[in-house]
Structure 1
Amino acid sequence: MEVEAFIWVMQCMIQHNKQEVVFETDCSNVVKMVSNPNEWPAFSILLEEVDRCKRRFTTFSVHHISITNNTKADKLARSARDLLHDMYYVNSIPPIWISRTV
């Protein structure tokens, strides 16, 4: 589920002491859910966790981007799936060894 993945990413940013964040997603529902959590009562438990995480940042925003503008992330995700081991990556600049595969 996209919201669970979003929570995981937020927690990773918190763990890495990133205080000012701008998230971009091609899932418009995530943006809608974070912006208007009361309109999504079925997801209240997850959205409460999103809110707890949001309060840990000094600057926070989440924006929708079209999937066509998200090609770099898609390539990175596809190349990570091709690796023979698990990969966890949270940063704005991929390591050199990933850049070569993208």
Structure 2
Amino acid sequence: MWAESQTKDPPNTGSLQNVDHLIIGDKSRCYIDGAWRAQDLCTGQGWFYEAGGSTDTMMGAMSIRKSLSPLHAECEALIWAMECMKILRISEVVFATECSQLVKMVSTPTEWPSFTTHMEEFLRCKEFFHPFTIQHIPRAQNTLADKLVRGARNQPAAMVYVDSIPPRWLLDHEST
């Protein structure tokens, strides 16, 4: 499943209620990513928000206990990004992910019984967003969230970072 979720082709999910796979116009976007490796003790989660029609940005990175799988990490990253958007009172946003399996999962949450708890939490969060919109994007378009999540995963201890200014460890990594 993980290898399939990394493909660049958008999933063929047909007509879905409350899920729009097209970004139209100047909408705000929240790019999300989850980082999981078998040998790591922690999972990294990250998101990068850019307001449509402006230069305003926010970002978040978190390193927490290890998720069960790469797809669990992606799902948990989406839920955390949604919770952060709710706290920031940003309800009109397009979530963007390179994980096609995550798009399929949130489009048909009842078809993923091993993710029941995650999907219940997702559906609670989803109520804030009218309409809820998620889009599959190529990995090359998700570089900021990817850098945040990998940097968080590599931190020596559990951490949470949310700010409009990139964390120092991210800037140090970019200059090398």
User: Number of residues paired by the alignment?
Assistant: 99
Higher strand share: 2
Unmatched segments (≥5 aa) in structure 1: none
Match of 2:142 in 1: 70
* Alpha-carbon distance in 1 for matches of 2:122, 2:133: 12
Q: Deviations over 1:28-53 (max 9, x none)?
A: 11111100112111111211111111
Report the CA distance between 1:4 and its aligned residue.
1.5
- Counterpart secondary structure, 2:142: helix
User: Structure 2: where are the runs of 5+ without partners?
Assistant: 1-71
Counterpart secondary structure, 1:89: strand
Of 62-71 and 31-40, more deviation after overlay is shown by 62-71
Give % identity: 44
- Aligned residue in 2 for 1:36: 108
How far residue 100 of structure 1 moved from its aligned partner, in angstroms, is 5.0
Alignment of 1:1-102 (within 5 A): 1=72, 2-79=74-151, 86-89=159-162, 94-95=164-165, 101=172, 102=174
Counterparts of 1:82 and 1:74, CA distance in 2: 12
Structure having the larger proportion of residues in helix: 1
Give the RMSD, CA atoms, in angstroms: 2.5
**Could you state the TM-score of these two structures normalised by the residue count of structure 1?**
0.74
CA 1:83/1:4 → structure 2, altered by over 3 Å: closer, same or farther?
closer
TM-score, normalised to structure 2, is 0.47
Measured after TM superposition, the shift of residue 73 of structure 1 is 2.5
Would the alpha carbon gap of residues 49 and 83 (structure 1) be closer, same or farther in structure 2, given more than 3 Å must change?
A: closer
